[in-house]
Amino acid sequence: MISMLENLVEQKFIYPITWLHGCRNRSVHAFKDQLDQIVNANESIEQHVFYDAPTALDKLEGVMEGFLDINKIASLPQYPGAMYYVCGPAPFIRKQYQDLISRGIEKESILFEEFGPALLQLN
């Protein structure tokens, strides 16, 4: 996902980008510094972060508490022709997919990539 974002920035993508990220806390926030740098350098990118256990500082920086929930983002934009990319374990993808559908997003506009420990089957 980060390489997709970097590519959009390099190509000077003209449409707004909304980046959502959820994880346990700051210490396991993948690419946090790099993402912050990209977001701060590009006013067309809006970022929303959810931590299971945010610190007081995290909350001051706008980090929301709990599981990533698009329904907690009142300003989540919906543009005609927009694409929605979801990456995570199957239960996470199902939740985001259903929430996007509930918001009126067409199924064809939602792309996803699953990862997690249940994917590897050797036997």
Sequence-distant (6+) residues with CB within 8 A of 90 are: 114, 116, 118
Q: Which residues contact 15 (CB under 8 A, 6 or more apart)?
A: 44, 79, 82
Residue 52 lies in a domain: yes
Does residue 122 belong to any structural domain of this protein?
A: no
Neighbours of 50 (CB within 10 A): 19
Whether residue 67 is contained in a domain is answered as yes
Structural domain for 63, as ranges:
1-77
- Model confidence over 80-119: pLDDT tens digits? 889 999 999 989 999 999 999 999 999 999 999 988 766 5
Q: Are 2 and 35 in contact (CB under 8 A)?
A: yes
With respect to residue 48, please indicate whether it lies within any of the assigned structural domains. yes
Q: What is the CATH number of the domain that holds 34?
A: 3.40.50.80
Q: Cβ of 63: how many Cβ atoms within 10 Å?
A: 18
For the chain, the domain total comes to: 2
Quote the longest CA-to-CA distance of the chain.
48
Residue 9 and residue 66 in one domain = yes
Same domain, 72 and 102: no
| 55 and 97, same domain (yes or no) | no
Question: Whole-prediction pTM value?
Answer: 0.88
Query: Across 1-123, where does the E strand assignment appear?
Result: 17-23, 45-51, 64-65, 84-88, 110-114
* pLDDT tens profile 44-76: 999 999 999 999 999 999 999 999 999 999 878
